Copies of this chain bind each other. A is one copy, B any other.
Amino acid sequence: MAQAVRKRRKEARPAELLEAAFELFVERGFAATRIDDIAARAGVSKGTVYLYFASKQAVFEALVRQAVLPNVERLIGETARPGIPVLEILPRLLRAITSTMAGSSLLQFPRLIIAESQQFPELAQFWRETVIDRMLGVVSGLIERGIAAGEIRPVDPVDAARLMIAPLLMAVIWGTTFVRQDESFDLNVFIDRHLDIYLRGLAAEVRP
């Protein structure tokens, strides 16, 4: 395998390596991915990986950082719609998250994080701070706003936020862990059904 593109700028290397690592972690998981594989898929030699990352774990952490953060930022940005009722923003946000993940390999991260959380607690910590706490913060803020506006029943905003996200977590775990070959599972339909029940349960009493 002659290295076709040799003179690639050295700035591109880390990104190329992360892309290769990403594909492989998703395909096989962290433990089953060998540095050799990452190097091979990126078209470099094993030693080169260690020029850019201190260890296999460091590759994983960089990966999470690079692949997840931009999406979190974007999704949070989209919630900043002051004029719109919360009961419209919430489903829009959940559907945005869903479609961001659907088909993308972001789907695989939660399972990877959960899998490695015991071996690498910092990773779980990082994910929680970077993704979970921020998303929960935004959603619970919206719910508070909805309560204040009389759209939403008085509920605990943090737990309500968790309850909004829970089916997404379940769906992701389901799809990446338990679904059988022959089986089909439609994420969008599932989330729609969730919103149908959840928002109805959350809405303030209809005035007669």
| Contact (A118, B32) CB under 8 Å given A177-B113, A193-B160 | yes
Partner of A163, one of B165, B177, B194: B194
A141 at the interface (CB under 8 A from B): no
Stretch at the interface among A42-50, A69-77, A200-208: A200-208
A90 to chain B, nearest CB (A): 13
In the bound complex, residues from chain B placing their C-beta under 8 Å from that of A170 are: 162, 165-166, 169-170
Stretch at the interface among A2-10, A23-31, A95-103: A23-31
In the bound complex, residues from chain B placing their C-beta under 8 Å from that of A119 are: 28-29, 31-32
Question: Contact between A155 and B196 (Cβ–Cβ < 8 Å)?
Answer: yes
Question: Contact between B32 and A173 (Cβ–Cβ < 8 Å)?
Answer: no
In the bound complex, residues from chain B placing their C-beta under 8 Å from that of A193 are: 155-156, 159-160, 163
In the bound complex, residues from chain B placing their C-beta under 8 Å from that of A208 are: 208
Complex CA distance for A114 and B200, rounded to whole angstroms: 31
| Contact (A178, B124) CB under 8 Å given A160-B193, A197-B163 | yes
